[in-house]
Homo-oligomer: A and B are copies of this chain.
Amino acid sequence: MNRPVRVAVVGLGYWGPNLARALEEVDNVHVTWLCDMRRETVDRVGRRHPGAARTTQVDDVLDDDGVDAVVVATPISTHYPLALAALSAGKHTFVEKPLTTSSRQAVALARLAAEQGLVLMPGHTFLYSPPVRAVKRLIEEGALGEIYFVSTSRVNLGIHQADVSVAWDLGPHDFSILRYWLGENPTWVTALTRSCVLPDVPDVAFVNAKFPSGSIAHVELSWLAPSKLRRTTVVGSRQMVVYDDTSNEPVRIFDSGVSLPDFGSYGEHRLSYRTGDIISPRIASDEPLVVEFTDFVAAIREGRKPVSHIDLGIDVVRVVEAVERSLADLGARTSVEADIELEAA
């Protein structure tokens, strides 16, 4: 396929217009359709994309044989039916995170895509953010040693969606990053939340997660806080890293560690702490959305797996599901099982 990849954007609310803009910045991509239920919205966004047709009917998009791929940026509850329709119409499909509201749906979509030979990609944009990739490289190179634990806080003053908890809204960011960095999904989680402002809309969540390798993680998610905070600490046996998305120095590497202790008398002893240099590596300023869509287009053209791949997307949904089950069970320990039934099928 030497011609431009022709992409339709479906859903032009808060986030969709950003996706349309970023798509235009990718080489050899053409935004051919803009679609939203609200005529006014389509027209407003459409003015910035004179080359794109506008519609309020998604069928106009799906019936157009000239469309190669559909980008779905609608409310979460509509992800599944829209992605199903797009794949059924033979379109490569990009779905904003989270992929679906159940892993059963996510697995069904994945199967359909595989059967049709189509790319189905969940939009975990943070995996394309330069500091997240820098930490991934450090882990892969072994610079951090064994990963003992990860502690992360994501606090975002912003949108409340009446049908979605903070776990579904913010959780996929951290669960996708952990899946990417550690290369594994948690075995089980426990979660504690509260619906502080609106009844039955959890707006703060404390999630603990245990991984097969022995690593553990804590994830704090909140829509309520004195100030925006995005701080992740990765503690390894060799080095430690602090990743702070809001800082001018988003990755700081601490060449510190703990040595085996000198045992003293009376059962008391001090570990010997090694303190070394701190390095803030220069981090590229590539825009994650553009890198993400470049990867999506390459996956379409070359038939290869994107970094934000479908198994990762399914795993993220499984973690959020487990978090929600733990909440429903008042914080009980809850397995993050692969869906046995579907797997066995």
Interface, chain A (partner B; CB < 8 A) = 13-14, 37-38, 75, 148-149, 151, 153, 157-163, 188, 190-194, 196-198, 204, 206, 208-210, 214-216, 218, 220, 222-227, 233, 235, 237, 240-242, 248-249, 252, 254-256, 258, 260-261, 263, 265-271, 273, 275-282, 330-333
Chain B hits for A267, CB < 8 A: 75, 161-163
Contact of A227 among B196, B204, B226, B254 (CB under 8 A): B254
- How many protomers of this protein does the assembly include? 4
Contact of A198 among B209, B256, B261, B275 (CB under 8 A): B261
Chain B hits for A223, CB < 8 A: 271
Judge whether B206 and A192 touch: CB under 8 Å: no
Within the complex, the shortest CB–CB distance from A127 to chain B, in Å, comes to 23
Judge whether A254 and B268 touch: CB under 8 Å: no
Interface CB pairs A-B, < 8 A, 27: A38-B265, A75-B267, A151-B153, A151-B222, A157-B273, A160-B261, A160-B270, A163-B267, A194-B214, A194-B215, A196-B235, A196-B258, A197-B260, A197-B271, A204-B235, A206-B218, A208-B208, A210-B331, A222-B235, A226-B233, A226-B235, A226-B252, A227-B248, A227-B254, A255-B282, A280-B280, A332-B333
- The complex places the Cα of A20 from the Cα of B226 at a distance, in Å, of 36
Within the complex, the shortest CB–CB distance from A40 to chain B, in Å, comes to 11
Chain B hits for A153, CB < 8 A: 151
CB closest residue in chain B, given A224: B235
Judge whether B208 and A226 touch: CB under 8 Å: no
Contact of A277 among B263, B280, B330, B332 (CB under 8 A): B280
Judge whether B224 and A148 touch: CB under 8 Å: yes
Chain B hits for A240, CB < 8 A: 224-226
Within the complex, the shortest CB–CB distance from A47 to chain B, in Å, comes to 11
Judge whether A218 and B220 touch: CB under 8 Å: yes
Contact of A282 among B210, B222, B226, B276 (CB under 8 A): B276
CB closest residue in chain B, given A208: B192
Judge whether A225 and B218 touch: CB under 8 Å: no
Judge whether A192 and B194 touch: CB under 8 Å: no
CB closest residue in chain B, given A285: B275
- Give 8 nearest A-B pairs by CB, closest first: A226-B254, A278-B280, A206-B218, A192-B208, A148-B196, A226-B240, A190-B190, A206-B208
